[in-house]
Chain A
Amino acid sequence: MASRISKFALSSLSALAVMLIAGVAFAADGGADNEFTMKAWIGIAAGLGMGLAAFGGALGQGRTAAAALDGIARNPGAQNKIFTPMILGLALIESLVIYSLIISILLQGKI
């Protein structure tokens, strides 16, 4: 179990390291630091930020739905009382993803 987690951690860290090192190689390519490199970074930031936020939001909402479904499975008569707080929790978790969406839209408008 521990070796599976550390293998996953090792592989994701190495992928991240390769991507960052590759970025440095492009910068040393001799291009002047003009407007297009700024636009490139803004493009990457917009897409990557939104992706990370969606990833975290999906994890959180998945846990919420799982807990709600567990509660309904234990006590099927409590479905109506569980439904409303579950929707509320989903909306509040989603609001954090929406903040990142707003930043991504603003960044994408600057390209």
Chain B
Amino acid sequence: MGDHSTWFNLHPDYDNLQNWAAKYLARDWHGMMFEKDPPFSITHVVISLFILVVLAMGAVVYRKKVAVGAEGRLIPEKKLLGTRNIFEMITGLVLSLSEGVMGREKAERFLPLIGTVFFFILFNNIIGLIPGFLPATDTLKTNLALSALIFLMTHVYGVKAHGLAYFKHFFGPVWYLAWLMFPIELISHLARPISLALRLLGNMVADHKVLATFFFLVPLLVPLPFYVLGILVCVVQAVVFTLLSIVYIELAVAHEEH
């Protein structure tokens, strides 16, 4: 629900691109919640692409700094906030989070998906704090896409680990309670991606609006505590999203002990 333009709007062809996209992708029906739809905007797509470019460039720089041979991998970088250190710290955080839930071997297996989700959400949240940018995660479209991906992958991993007997989980522990357990399990499974998306969306929108309000009131020094709060909220929400996806994957893949 971003409502101001970003630095990307300064590009002379931005409006043309937006109108061209609106010709094919705008909708004239509206969901049950909105009476007047917010105007069509491709801001979240542009910012997502920008974040992807940043991440890809970071990966290339990381690879260049590491490919010095066996010693190059072991000796850490000297600058505290150098590229290599930042990426290694964040990956170490994700690995330790998932190791606490899943165990080392499964954590390494799922690290590509979980790590990418964490990097994407973290960088998107942080870029919303810079004046003139909007986080792509403050639209329901991006968040639902991310949580739909996690939802799909939990079921794919569950079927891969258990075979088609994975769907017997939906029917509960005993057969004569299946009529009761099935709707409950179905609703709880459907509530997970919705809650993931809505939690991230609400936090980002509220955070941005609070910052904007205090900027409007007293632009000089008062927004500083809210910036600190904003950084905390961004990091914590990325961690919560990632940790919950780890827990959902673990619930799907875990083999019960007898």
User: What is the bound-complex CA distance between A98 and B206, given in angstroms?
Assistant: 9
What residues of chain A lie closer than 8 Å to B198, measured between beta carbons?
A: 95, 98-99, 102
Contact of A88 among B199, B203, B206, B239 (CB under 8 A): B239
Which A-chain residue is minimally distant from B140 (CB atoms)?
A: A102
Contact of B240 among A91, A101, A109, A110 (CB under 8 A): A91
Which A-chain residue is minimally distant from B196 (CB atoms)?
A: A95
Given A88-B240, A91-B236, A91-B240, A98-B199 contact (CB < 8 Å): yes
User: What is the bound-complex CA distance between A92 and B226, given in angstroms?
Assistant: 21
Which A-chain residue is minimally distant from B236 (CB atoms)?
A: A91
User: What is the bound-complex CA distance between A101 and B1, given in angstroms?
Assistant: 14
Is A17 among interface residues, defined by CB-CB distance under 8 A? no
User: How many residues of A sit at the interface, in one of the four size bands?
Assistant: 10 to 19
Is B7 among interface residues, defined by CB-CB distance under 8 A? no
User: What is the bound-complex CA distance between A92 and B199, given in angstroms?
Assistant: 9
Contact of A109 among B34, B199, B202, B236 (CB under 8 A): B34
B27-55 interface (Cβ within 8 A of A): 33-35
What residues of chain A lie closer than 8 Å to B206, measured between beta carbons?
A: 98, 101
What residues of chain B lie closer than 8 Å to A88, measured between beta carbons?
A: 239-240, 243
The tally of CB-CB contacts under 8 A between chains A and B is 39
Contact of A106 among B33, B195, B203, B243 (CB under 8 A): B33
What residues of chain B lie closer than 8 Å to A91, measured between beta carbons?
A: 236-237, 239-240
Which B-chain residue is minimally distant from A102 (CB atoms)?
A: B202
- A95 and B33 within 8 A (CB): no
User: What is the bound-complex CA distance between A106 and B36, given in angstroms?
Assistant: 11
What is the CB-to-nearest-CB distance from B112 to chain A, in angstroms, rounded to a whole number? 23
Is A78 among interface residues, defined by CB-CB distance under 8 A? no
- B240 and A98 within 8 A (CB): no
What is the CB-to-nearest-CB distance from A33 to chain B, in angstroms, rounded to a whole number? 19
Which B-chain residue is minimally distant from A90 (CB atoms)?
A: B236
- B236 and A98 within 8 A (CB): no
Is B146 among interface residues, defined by CB-CB distance under 8 A? no
- B239 and A95 within 8 A (CB): no
User: What is the bound-complex CA distance between A95 and B239, given in angstroms?
Assistant: 13
Which B-chain residue is minimally distant from A94 (CB atoms)?
A: B203
User: What is the bound-complex CA distance between A60 and B215, given in angstroms?
Assistant: 30
Is A105 among interface residues, defined by CB-CB distance under 8 A? yes
User: What is the bound-complex CA distance between A82 and B34, given in angstroms?
Assistant: 42
The 7 closest A-B pairs by CB, nearest first: A98-B202, A95-B199, A91-B240, A102-B202, A91-B236, A106-B33, A101-B202
Seen from chain B, the residues whose Cβ lies within 8 Å of a Cβ on chain A are 1, 33-35, 195, 198-199, 201-203, 205-206, 236-237, 239-240, 243
Seen from chain A, the residues whose Cβ lies within 8 Å of a Cβ on chain B are 87-88, 91-92, 94-95, 98-99, 101-102, 105-106, 109-110
Would you list 5 pairs from A and B whose C-beta atoms are within 8 A, ordered by A residue? A88-B240, A95-B203, A98-B206, A105-B205, A106-B34
Instruction: List 10 additional A-B contacts (Cβ < 8 Å) besides A99-B202, A105-B205.
Output: A92-B240, A94-B203, A95-B202, A95-B203, A98-B203, A101-B202, A101-B206, A106-B34, A109-B34, A110-B35
